[in-house]
Every structure is written in C-alpha cells, then in structure tokens.
Amino acid sequence: MAMSEGLIVPPGGGRKIVTKAQEVTFKVTGDHSRTGSLFEVVVPPGFDVGAHVHTRSEEIFYVLEGELDLLAFEPDERSPQDWRSWRAADGSAPARAGAGSCMFVPAGCPHAFTNPHDTPARMLFLSAPPPDHERYFEELLEILGTGVPDEAAVAHLREKYDIQQITPLRYDARRTQ
C-alpha cells in the first residue's frame, strides 16, 4: 500500500495473533504509517506486563472493555518486585482504569499494566514510532504461546527492542486457557 493512501479497518479486521497468553490484532502498522502502530490487545486475567521503560518510543493505552491497573510515573523508588505498590513524590499511585480511560507514556517514563480480574480486558494500544512494537509483540507472543515463558528469551527480546524491564512480566497460564 502506498503511504499516500488511507486505510479503513472494519470491526474484526486486521492481522490477528492468538496464543494461550494473549491476543493482539494489528490494525495499523509501519507498512501503513511512518508515525505510529495501532493494535487491539486482549489482556487475559492475571497478565502483568511488568514495569518497564522505553528510551525511544511513546505509547498511548485506551481501555475498551474491562478494567486494568495502570502505571505511568517515576516512583520514589523502583522496587524490583511489584510496581503496584509504587508511589511518586507528588502522591501519584497506580490507578484502576475502566472503559474509556486513557494513559499516555512518553519516552523514558516507567509504565505497566495488569489485569487483576477473572475476565479478559480489551485495550487499544498506539506506539510510536513503528515498527519496533509490532515485531516485539510478534516475537513475545511466540515465546508466551509455549506455556511457561522462558525468562531468558523474554529478557533478550526486551533488550533487542529498547525495553528496560524493572519488574517481571507475569501471567498465570492456568487462567488464560
């Protein structure tokens, strides 16, 4: 597709990757846009992406269905185990976000999301610039689709795609089946 042509993606459209751990539908990719990638992500119960930082990319998360716990600030202290207890000097704390909530994450800002409920949540995810997050999601879902994630493989993947992991990625494979 030429970059001067628009794109209309119908409901249910896009390139979908489904594993036991997660479901991602690529709506707009680096093949379509020089400025951003847009995905629809189903976040399974118990999934926690872990707090992390990107030095080069910005992200926007928009909750479509369900609730997620979200983090987008620099804490007083980056404890390596659980970001949900983090607090910032200004009193900021992770927030419970329902449908219609939006989170913007500039480059260099620690951020995370988790689904603390027993039902899946859905979010729209915009990442700029493309295509690093597209490739990262493709490779991560391949790793997570095998059952218990290979922590070394996830660590290598995150290093490859400019992701400094602060707290671990977690998910309960029993809750995603």
Would you kindly state where each structural domain of the chain is located, as residue ranges? 22-175
Look at the domain 22-175 and name its fold.
Jelly Rolls (2.60.120)
The yes-or-no verdict on residue 177 having pLDDT over 50 is no
Q: pLDDT digits over 102-155, tens only?
A: 999 999 999 999 999 999 999 999 999 998 888 988 888 888 776 667 788 888
3-class DSSP string for the chain:
CCCCCCCCCCCCCCEEEECCCCEEEEEECCCCCCCCEEEEEEECCCCECCCEECCCCEEEEEEEECEEEEEECCCCCCCCCCHHHCCCCCCCCCEEEECCCEEEECCCCCEEEECCCCCCEEEEEEEECCCHHHHHHHHHHHHHCCCCCCHHHHHHHHHHCCCEECCCCECCHHHCC
pLDDT of res. 72: 98
pTM score: 0.89
Mean pLDDT along residues 61-84: 96
